[in-house]
Structure 1
Amino acid sequence: MNPAGNSELTLTRLLEKARLGEKYTAQIGAGALGLGSQSPSPGLPQHSSGANNGAGTGAGTTVDPSSQRIIVGVDFGTTYSGVAWGYTGTPQDIHVIQSWPGGINLTSPKVPSKIAYERDGSPPKWGFQVKPFQNCIECFKLFLDPQQKPPDFVSLPNIQAQLRTTSPSTTPRTITDVVRDYLQMLYDHTMVTLTRALGKTFVDNTRIEWVLTCPAVWSDKSKHATLMAAERTGMARCFQIRLISEPEAAALYTLKSIQPGNLQVGDNFVVCDAGGGTVDLISYEIVRTQPSLQIKESVTGTGDLCGSAFLNRRFEAFVKERLGANLFYAMKERTKLAALKSWEEYVKRVFVDGEDQDVFPIQFPGLPDDDVLGIDCGFMSVTREEVQGIFEPIIQEVIKLVDGQIQAVQNKGKQVTSILLVGGFGSSEYLFTRLKEKYTPILGTASNPDVVLQPVDAWTAVVRGAVIRGMETIVQTRRSRHHYGVKYWEYFDEGRHDEIHKFWDTTREKWLAENQIKWYIAKGTEVSDDKSISFPFYITFESHHSRILVDELVCCDLLIPPTHITPDVTTVCKLRSDLTTVPKYLYSKGRNSKDAEYEGLHFTMEMSVLSASLRFELRVDGVRYGEVTADFA
């Protein structure tokens, strides 16, 4: 085609055993560092025409439900996931699901991202249904992106072994199957919740759209894998499924919750979405505040695996080093549970450096008193410096990421005015304080002293923002994560092309150069949902040639991308275009020296770079023809 031109029981898992037997309302988990406000009990959406009179059926309203939509946001997380929903008739009301199967009387805005398959083929357990010490699969989301190295406490071979031993057939499940099964159970529970809140008639007669979140730094293939897994669930029966990057979703919610007077056109801010597994960042600029808020990406996103789950692992390592391996492994389960519970719900949430408390007692019931080990009456005394030592390496990783975003914005001649801290780890008092201490002297001014902002609902900011995205478009433009182009051939030129790429075209009887690349989108270029990028092509066919074309979309992250295929160039996907529906009159005709007739066609491949996905169309003379499918395999 030519263009026109391990088995060991960990303290973390022991913690859940204690939680399942208790009845209280709290945010839970490795990603939770602070209590959050509870959502109001959801009721039937209130239409703009007045109050509803129907008991969950929409009766008494004058608004046609078909003109409105239910937006469901899914924050599919590494350690915990959340679901929220809203109704376009009352866009200010966003309801976060708080009750989950297996949770008993426990309420939480998040559910563990865990799934346990039964050997007898019975339905799998998920979330809070998975009991402590039960063999289960967790952190499986990370394996959707093979380019991201998982943490050392997550083993793909162990997961694969579980999939082989619990699969009902000789063909083992894949990670994508696990993601699909988990999302299916999220879907089923969400639909039960919506029906209970709104009534079956209303739900059955209202369009439902799903907005799933994923890390901004994931590859296009991994984002596509997430979308494909969702499309293999009941979500496919709904009106639409979309993806949005996690920090973008967090930004939408946080900005909507800020008083308009605090936002100024031209302000640049960094969103730091610190979760249980990943920390994801993107910077944005305020484009306008009236009549509606509009923002655009300032620089491309970054991220790494340095979430709060790593604090739990560092705490375990600290305890093991203090007690010694023999005593650590000999501890009873209830002792480990109590210890991690004290760490999770007391120290990790409330620790703030600089306060008067110099020693933190952590429960270790059953351990004998030992002055050397610092154990007295079933408590281990941990000093402020020791707690800080557990936190600090993770804090430094986050600061390194924030520094990178600030520097990137400054490299464009602009200044960051604020940092929005969200996510489970983003609720940490210590992380908030450390960022505030570091960046207030650098970025703060007399008129803007509050540089680091931490919303009340930091743990649910992402899932709430996903619902907002379904309601309205706030992000005007984004920055391309890579250089994007297509692989093609062109007429061979001795001065420009390597002989290794030279081949003979029997149709047009010309020497051509293959494996060349035409770059259409430069890394960092502004892109938007409503503006596509056109790849113009010219293709020749003989009568026996297939009208199903296969093109190759490639990407590169070098400062200056190469003009031909090299190891630095990665295939994003293969694009399959069906040209059989293109009318014959749109083809040109030609004949070569062997009297072989051929046809030529000028067409464009159009790509839209969305928040967390790519969309393709094929057009001839501005008219859409056929179908373009992207194969990310």
Structure 2
Amino acid sequence: MQSPSSEASLRNVTDKIRDVSLSGETNRLVVGVDFGTTYSGVAWGYTGSPSEIHVIQSWPGGVNLTSPKVPSKIAYEKDGIKWGFQIKPFQNCIECFKLCLDPNLRPPDFVSLPNIYAQLQQHEKTVQDVVRDYLQMLYDHTITMLTRSLGQTFVENTKIEFILTCPAVWSDRSKNATLQAAEGTGMAKSCKIRLISEPEAAALYTLKTIRPKNLSANDDSCFVVCDAGGGTVDLISYEILQTEPLQVKESVTGTGELCGSAFLNRRFESFVKERLGSTAYFAMKEKTKIAALKSWEEYVKRVFVDGEDQDVFPIQFPGLPDDEARGIDCGFMTVTREEVQGIFEPVIEEVVRLVDGQITAVQSKGKRVKSILLVGGFGSSEYLFMRLQNKYTDILSTPDNPDVVLQPVDSWTAVVRGAVIRGMETIVQTRKSRYHYGVKYWEYYDENIHSEEHKYWDTTREKWLAENQIKWYIAKGTEMSEDESIAFPFYITFEDHHSRVLVDELVCCQETFPPKCIDSTVKTVCKLRSDLTNVPKSMYTKGRNSKDVEYEGLHFTMEMTVLSASLLFELSVDGVRYGEVTADFAT
């Protein structure tokens, strides 16, 4: 059921739709999809009424439950796919599969990758297949809800643009894998899918809604966005360029780790195992474990504050026999405030370390942090808010800026709402590159510079060359704009029988000082395939070697644009675009 305010908002949208259809203007629907580790969400808006964002609250299998998020779970049954709230307690399913998209990140202890891959093998699915199937379920339900709200005729005849969120800490390859999975659904039916990083989306929503009065343009102040979710915690710092219309830019390179609220659940399980002993823990019925975890989630984790008003927390363990030594009485386990704090603290400390790193990086640029914006599911935690407030108020507050840590009311849906805002307008003007980016290339061999292992003989040019060298074009921390591209100049020689389809390798490095040639710190981002078959022969230079073999040479440029969570490539010769560049992110 829609709330009165939601119903009024929907009436405003339908009125705008009617007005636009009469005027002949073209608008579109923008759908934000927050594909999360533990929960996912969908929100939508209409460009004809950009201030109104609607979050989907009802889901298949949810009966009368309303929730702004749906579990990121999927099961392959004989009668078809079950997902989200359709998956019942004790039902075998695949979960946390999002983390498999980035194998470079070490998964948390509670995620068993072998178990996930065994389930994939059982159903003859790849990780990409499962992600695609889950996103297809989200897409189908979204279209159903849009049709219910706006009517089938309007939905079928209106362009729908999907903005998909992903962790900022993910590699370019993992972001591309997410995009490819989404493109395998109906999301790309009428508009190209766009990606946005989760903390950037959260920042857009937070700034547009709470408009912190202490933040202004043209000074040295910045704000840190801490997007604390179920699996990942991402941080990015911004400074305001102008307030009307709102425009911001990244201040320093963003950071993040796998240290979300799901870690608290696993620490709670470890605590219970230690309290009961391994034998009793593993003998406990699965129903008892699930009831205990639900009790922990709803009555402790979400509301815990380290205050003196509550010293003990009773947690349901139905069916467990009374045991005074282990604190079990009438189906409840008594957990002290100090014990709950012990479960929280290691995870909280990891978040604090990340915030400290952002503040230090901002200060190293001669700027100061005025506010910390706390968003995400874990970001709505009272204890996390209190810990950050207690630590940073004395450090960052001033008489005219006493409230340093800000926590918007809708922090759990800040990311998905921000994705919709991104589809409506461009607020972030520049971003900081998280890596050094460059290309593998060859150059003439010099024994004083190059290693012998990289030396090889070029039969066409009849010269010794050094391979596996790197030309770095983008430095880590470089300010990047979507309106500007980075040019990678190339020179290549062909004999007549050589293919005009080239393969170049884009590489990256996170080290402060990147190496000059390939080593263990350099990672391949993707293989770039450039099709030069349409370049006119007049653009080539000609040469002939000592064996009277004729060859052609071509100078061309590859241009790369860095977006919020993706890369775009184009190829040109003398400023004219020719052919096509495709990026192969496969391993």
Q: After the TM superposition, which of the residue ranges 192-201 and 80-89 deviates more from structure 2? A: 192-201
The answer to whether the 8 Å contact 2:163/2:193 transfers is yes
Q: CA deviation at 1:196?
A: 1.4
- Return the alpha-carbon distance in structure 1 between the equivalents of residues 462 and 331 of structure 2: 87
Q: Does 1:317 align with 2:270?
A: yes
Letter of the structure 2 residue corresponding to residue 360 of structure 1: F
User: 1:235: Cα distance to partner?
Assistant: 1.3
What is the aligned counterpart of 1:111 among 63, 70, 94? Answer: 70
Alignment of 1:328-343 (within 5 A): 328-343=281-296
SS of the residue corresponding to residue 463 of structure 1 reads helix
Aligned to 2:213: 261
Matches within 5 A, 1:594-633: 594-633=547-586
Alignment-mate amino acid for residue 344 of structure 2: F
- Structure 2 distance, partners of 1:283, 1:462, is 16
* Other-structure match for 1:64: 24
Matches within 5 A, 1:378-417: 378-417=331-370
Out of 146, 162, 165, the position equivalent to 1:213 is: 165
Aligned with 1:278 (options 225, 232, 238): 232
Aligned to 2:10: 43
Question: Map of 1:183-198 to 2, 5 A cutoff?
Answer: 183-198=135-150
Q: Which residue of 2 aligns with 1:353?
A: 306
Q: Give a deviation string over 1:550-589, Cα, whole Å, max 9, x none.
A: 1110111222211111222111111001111112222222
**Residue number in structure 1 paired with 2:60:** 101
Question: Which letter maps to 1:81?
Answer: S
Residues 228-270 of structure 1, C-alpha deviations (whole Å, 9 max, x = no match): 1111111121211011110000000001112363321242111
The whole-number CA distance in structure 2 between the counterparts of 1:271 and 1:60 is 36
Per-residue deviation at 1:222? 0.4
Aligned mates of 2:6, 2:214 — CA distance in 1: 25
2:188 aligns with 236
SS in 1 for 2:58: coil
Q: 2:227 is paired with a residue of what secondary structure? A: strand
Identity of aligned residues (%): 76
Aligned to 1:581: 534
In 1, are the aligned partners of 2:162 and 2:188 still within 8 Å (CA)?
no
**Structure 1 residue 39 displacement after superposition:** 5.5
Aligned with 1:445 (options 390, 398, 403): 398
Q: Distance in 1 between matches of 2:8 and 2:34?
A: 20
Give the structure 2 partner of residue 491 of structure 1: 444
Local SS of the residue matching 2:560: strand
Q: How many Å apart are 1:46 and its aligned residue?
A: 3.5
Shift in Å, 1:506: 2.4
Gap change, CA 1:260 and 1:324, over 3 Å in 2: closer
Q: 5+ residue gaps in structure 1?
A: 1-23, 26-35, 167-171
SS in 1 for 2:253: strand
1:461 corresponds to which residue? Answer: 414
**Contact kept? 1:260, 1:289, Cα under 8 Å:** no
Letter in 2 for 1:64: G
C-alpha separation in 2, matches of 1:367 and 1:502: 71
Change over 3 Å in CA distance of 1:330–1:38 after alignment to 2: farther
Q: 1:620 to 1:332 in 2, by over 3 A?
A: same
Give the distance between the partners of 2:392 and 2:338, measured in 1 at CA.
Answer: 22
Shift of 1:340: 2.6
> What amino acid is aligned across from residue 226 of structure 1 in structure 2?
T
**Residues 452 and 542 of structure 1, relative CA distance in 2, 3 Å threshold:** same
**Alignment RMSD, CA only?**
2.1
Label 1:144 to 1:334 Cα distance change in 2 as closer, same or farther (>3 A): closer
1:409 and 1:39, CA in 2 relative to 1: closer, same or farther beyond 3 A? farther
SS in 2 for 1:342: helix
Relative CO higher for 1 or 2, CA cutoff 8 Å, sep ≥ 6? 1
- 1:551-570 matches, within 5 Å, as 551-570=504-523
Work out whether residues 90 and 286 of structure 2, in 8 Å CA contact, stay in contact via their aligned partners in 1.
no
**C-alpha distance in structure 2 between counterparts of 1:232 and 1:403, whole Å:** 40
Q: Which amino acid is the alignment partner of residue 194 of structure 2?
A: R
Identify unmatched segments of 5+ residues in structure 2. none
Taking the aligned partners of 1:604 and 1:428, their CA distance within structure 2 comes to 49
Query: Could you tell me which of 409, 420, 431 is aligned with 1:478?
Result: 431
Shift in CA distance, 555/287, structure 1 to aligned 2, threshold 3 Å: same
CA distance in 1, matches of 2:462, 2:560: 32
What is the identity, as a one-letter code, of the residue corresponding to 1:244?
I
Go from structure 1 to structure 2 and tell me whether the alpha carbon gap of 1:247 and 1:404 turns closer, same or farther (over 3 Å shift).
same
User: Residues 42 and 156 from structure 1, CA distance in 2 versus in 1: closer, same or farther, beyond 3 angstroms?
Assistant: farther
**Greater mean deviation of Cα atoms: 89-98 or 587-596:** 587-596
Deviates further, 416-425 or 278-287: 278-287
Corresponding pairs, count: 584
Matches within 5 A, 1:121-136: 122-136=79-93
Partners of 1:333 and 1:489 in 2: how far apart?
A: 60
The one-letter amino acid paired with 1:276 is G
Report the CA distance shift for 1:222/1:333 in structure 2 as closer, same or farther (over 3 A). closer
Matched residue SS, 2:255:
strand
Structure 2 residue 243 is the aligned partner of structure 1 residue 289: yes
In 2, the alpha carbon distance for the partners of 1:115 and 1:474 equals 35
Q: Whole-Å Cα distance in 2 between the matches of residues 532 and 126 of structure 1?
A: 41
2:43 is the counterpart of 1:84: yes
Contact 1:417 1:443 in 2 (8 A): yes
